[in-house]
Structure formats: structure tokens, C-alpha cells
Amino acid sequence: MLVRYRGMLRERLFLPLFFISFLLLISIVVILVRDKAPAGSTAVCACEGSRGDANEVGDSNQAGEEGEEDPNDKKPPRPEHKHPAFKERISDRQRMVATQIQARQVKDPNVLKAMRIVPRHAFVPKREERYAYIDQPLPIEQGQTISQPYIVAFMTEALKLDPNSKVLEIGTGSGYQAAVCAEIAREVYTIEIVPELAKSAKALLKKLGYKNVFVRAGDGFFGWKEKGPYDAIIGTAAAGRIPPPLLEQLKPGGRMILPVRGRFGYQYLELIAKDKKGKIQKRQVMPVRFVPMTGEVQKPEKKSAK
């Protein structure tokens, strides 16, 4: 009887003990394998576990393999508004927009916003600062002028800019018009024939944080071919004729506005549109008064040989 009981006890204990031993063996094997695993496998697990956090801040590797950069992913620089001038005279700019610009039917919200942001008083000489927001052009250095706020807004609206626009400006002057365009457009390339003005405008725009404005000293008649074509071209000095290189550098579907001298010395803004097939359409939109464009445009027009 005792022998039979001992046999039954051994049979009942055998299975649990075998199962426990098997589990211990499996645990030992798992620990050994994990300790010998390459470091890269741990990194993969960490990435998988932290994917939620990476998506919250933007995964820079979504468009390509690890370590590669997608050039189309690079965001263009935008104007910074850290300079103290942006916080000065805000009510003056709001009043200027309401009474001088909106009251004359400029409606593009991007243009109105840009005119409220750009500190015009930073672009005029100290002696003219108190007049910065009145309804008229003001003198700047080198015998040039900064345009009337309404004209700046009107010309900018005529270009129909958007955040992807590339703009060419002929006649940088103080840099004010370029700054207004830069608040809306992707990039602004601006040319100034007076070297001293080009230098001072470049320094001022940099100081104000306009990283998407590029200034060059030169004759605007020839444009800036290597950076073209352009969605929009704006001229801020009156030419006797429209420079042919500017028409060539205007992208199909693009728009150009600039003052043109007519008969008897009268000037008017001319709006030029190039359709998708490259056909040019022109129309006069407003009588104006600008400083004259100088340089190549002053030379007699060459007649093509027949």
C-alpha cells in the first residue's frame, strides 16, 4: 500500500516540476539572446516606441530614407518681426491702411496685412520720420523718394501675389516696396542702380529680418536673368519704354506693373500680363509721378534691321 502511494505521488509531482523547469530554461535562453543582440535592434525598438512623439513635431525622414533630405521639403525663409520698429507706431499704420488704402478700394487681405506690418518710418530719413504715415511720397537719400503708401499698396495688389510668388523689383530705393512684397511672396529680388542706395537698403532689410529679400546693385533694365523667371515684376522708376529683358524674364501667367513715361512728360502705371502662351497684354491703369529710370533705358532704342 505504501509503495503504491509513493508511486502515485511521484507521478503527480513529475508534471508540475517538468513544466517549471521548462519555463526556467526558456527564460534563461531569452536573457542570453537579448544580451547578445546587436545594438541596432534596440534602436529600432526605441524608434517604434517613440513614433507618436516624432509625429507631433514633424518627422524629417518621411519623404526619404534615413539621412537624406528632400529639397522640396525646405521651407523658404520668412521675414522676422523681432526688430523694435515693428512694435512702434502700430496705430499710425492701422490708420494709414483704413483711411488711405482701404478707403480707395484696395481689398486684398494679404496686401492690407503687409501694409499694417511693415514699419514705414524705419525706411525714411530721421528728419522725415514724423511724416512717415501721411498720404504722400517722401524724399530719401541720393535724390530719390519713397512712394506714397496707397501707390505701394495699389501696385502690390495688381501683382496678385501669393506665398509661392517670386518677385523682381526694379528700383530698390529705401527697400520699403520690397519689404511689403516680401511679407506676401516667397522671394523678392531687387535691383538698385545707385550703389549707395543698394548698400543701405540691403543693410536695413537685413537688420529688419527680411531674409527672403535679395538686393543687387546694377541696371534694372537687364533684370536678374539667372534668378528668373518671375511670377511678378514691379518697377518703381518711370521708363520711356518697357525693357525687353523684363518681358522675357516674366513667367507665362505672370504680371508686371511699372510707371511709363508718355508724351509731354506724363506718366502712367502700365499693367502687363503674359498669358500661358506667352502673349503680352498691356493696359494703362493710373496716372502717376515717379522719379525717372536711369541707365540703359535712357539710350535710344535700337531698331531691328530689316
Full-model pTM:
0.75
pLDDT of the residue at 50: 34
Active site residues: 147
pLDDT of the residue at 63: 36
List, in sequence order, every residue forming a beta bridge with 168; answer none if it has no partner. Answer: 189, 233
* Parallel/antiparallel/unpaired status of strands 280-288 and 267-274: antiparallel
Average pLDDT over residues 2-27: 54
59, pLDDT greater than 50: no
pLDDT level of residue 67 (50, 70, 90 thresholds): very low
- Higher-pLDDT residue of 15 and 142 is 142
Q: What is the pLDDT of residues 132-161, one digit of tens each?
A: 999 999 999 999 999 999 999 999 999 999
d(CA 22, CA 127) in angstroms, rounded, equals 93
- Higher-pLDDT residue of 273 and 44 is 273
pLDDT level of residue 23 (50, 70, 90 thresholds): low
* Spatial CA neighbour of 94 closest among 120, 75, 68: 120
CA dist 270 → 51, 140, 239, 257, 299 (Å): 55, 25, 11, 6, 21
282 and 272 Cβ atoms separated by less than 8 Å:
yes
Domain residue spans in the chain?
1-35, 84-298
Q: What is the pLDDT of residues 164-205, one digit of tens each?
A: 999 999 999 999 999 999 999 999 999 999 999 999 999 999
pLDDT of the residue at 27: 58
Which phi and psi angles does 205 have, rounded to 5°?
Answer: -60, -35
What is the Cα Rg of the chain in Å?
A: 34
Average pLDDT over residues 102-109: 98
* CATH class given for the domain over 84-298: alpha beta
